[in-house]
Structure 1
């Protein structure tokens, strides 16, 4: 048996997911077929590449050696194929810009600004809850740029071939709760005031559950937790069924309040990634402007930004623009 790129792709998928089941699903094949494939590869190389443990699959020393050579080859082959297809498509259809993003209130403004500056460019958007999945798609040439968030304490796996730029080093996470919740009367909510509430978190968002769990444990809380998606969460929050973390740019509603948490216990880093600096430069300015435009439309976040500039010893950290939006004083 001669090793091919598809075999190396199998090894990388198993290592990245840490599970034969997840790797099979990612590759679009059955787990038994993947197991058979792995055995053939190990037989061809003359040694075991992964050990199965209760927590998943881990590379053996031999597996780590093979993976160190396999990953660059797989990445380069994906990029070659994707970039060739993209170049062929652009030659026929004209310029394209393929954007990937995790959820953000800045997206509509970003797209609007890009379309205004790039008339004639076909701009597509792919949303995903997994920042790591989007970064892999950029590395593989399936997307041109990705705007993602990295939960504090849960670093993303940024492919070595990508360039990145940090939009905001730490964005605080706020709490959304029913408008008639007792804590909603306060400008800032303490975690202890939510000790009896049921929390909702989307475990498919990279790092989200781990980050929240760490914060709750540090606060000495062990609340009931409901796993679900954040579209459903908004409805449940409004009826008082749950409370949930939210982005500070989220807007309050008549039936739902958005408040900062005392001490800002959890934050995320916002970053944009692309394969080249030119691709970053092509989109960053519009994203930066769109983010601060969205920030200025959230009263709770606007107040937090102003207070942060005063209480953290950095007066002028934010400044207002003529239209009332907020932008950083220095970049």
Structure 2
């Protein structure tokens, strides 16, 4: 592992708080994750940086050396970033946007809005099933932003030092063939689908575990859960082999319908991530605002869902104002959860 500035920040946080637990709270990390990160840093540097006991964490001689260097390097890097930002101050918007997405339902609309508002900008996209892969690419400077989703109230791993902001929260719904006995209902309880086989897009998050837990609360164990891409999911549903888990803004093809799950037992949080020390961080608020507008665009084909959101303020934009109307019609992005 190569030592990075974020590792020096971890060492400084532990020294300043005198405790790995307190440092984890300060950095917004889980204590086991920070402990594992400290162990990797110590292996890289060749020895322990702290003596740890019930009284807290105190720097070793090696730790004092690292802290002395970190307290010089971190302010110097911050000064460099501030000077670079001032030098680039004449540029109001970046010349390129490099997005990574995990089956994002709004990536197409986000790109559409940015391209319309900034015709000279270079916009590229990269797709992956793995949130961790995208986070690593952002941390390494190969992508500017990651647009992904997480289950429930969870957040993407903090291991890569990214800043994450919520765009919106949607209930997970079920995709059925029109001929399904429950397709005529607006809402279906999870237990009514207990004899079905299921399909969803793959990923490295906790969605599979959350789904299994929701089924257990409903009193059953789900049958086979297939994993495939969006087109494969739709094919399995169309063939009557499975029902799919998908987002509420998913717009199915003819012959398929989406139906809400009663009580919204599963939620999907759409998140935007960037590295706080990268140039892209200076434009993160702009991109987040555009992502929120792209999400709002995705709601327009779903008047029933819009009405449901009005009665369920814990979903959707969760208190944010509705952004302006889209610049013009864009092709709808699709995704299974």
Give the TM bin, normalised by the shorter chain. Answer: 0.5 to 0.7
Change over 3 Å in CA distance of 1:191–1:71 after alignment to 2: farther
Counterpart of 1:132 in structure 2 is 132
Q: Would you say how many aligned residue pairs link Structure 1 and Structure 2?
A: 249
> Does 2:287 align with 1:283?
yes
SS in 2 for 1:123: strand
SS in 1 for 2:182: helix
Counterpart of 2:40 in structure 1 is 67
SS in 2 for 1:148: strand
Q: For structure 1, which runs of at least 5 residues remain unmatched after alignment?
A: 13-58, 81-86, 88-93, 326-331
Q: CA deviation at 1:64?
A: 6.2
Deviations 1:194-244 (A, max 9, x none): 111111234434222112111111111223113221321111112221011
Change over 3 Å in CA distance of 1:254–1:307 after alignment to 2: farther
Counterpart of 2:309 in structure 1 is 305
Q: How does 1:189-204 map to 2 (within 5 A)?
A: 189-204=188-203
Choose 137-146 or 299-308, whichever is displaced more.
299-308
Counterpart of 2:141 in structure 1 is 141
Counterpart of 2:69 in structure 1 is none
Change over 3 Å in CA distance of 1:109–1:203 after alignment to 2: closer
Deviations 1:106-157 (A, max 9, x none): 1111101111222222110011122222112111111101111111265420
TM-score (normalised: structure 2): 0.64
Identify which of structures 1 and 2 has the higher relative contact order when contacts are C-alpha pairs closer than 8 Å and 6+ apart: 2
Q: Structure 2 CA distance, aligned partners of 1:71 and 1:162?
A: 21
Q: For structure 2, which runs of at least 5 residues remain unmatched after alignment?
A: 8-31, 46-65, 67-72, 78-83, 85-93, 330-337
Contact 2:188 2:261 in 1 (8 A): yes
Change over 3 Å in CA distance of 1:244–1:68 after alignment to 2: same
RMSD, aligned α-carbons: 3.7
Q: CA deviation at 1:305?
A: 1.3
Contact 1:99 1:146 in 2 (8 A): yes
The structure carrying a bigger helix percent of its residues is 1
Contact 1:172 1:247 in 2 (8 A): yes
SS in 1 for 2:104: coil
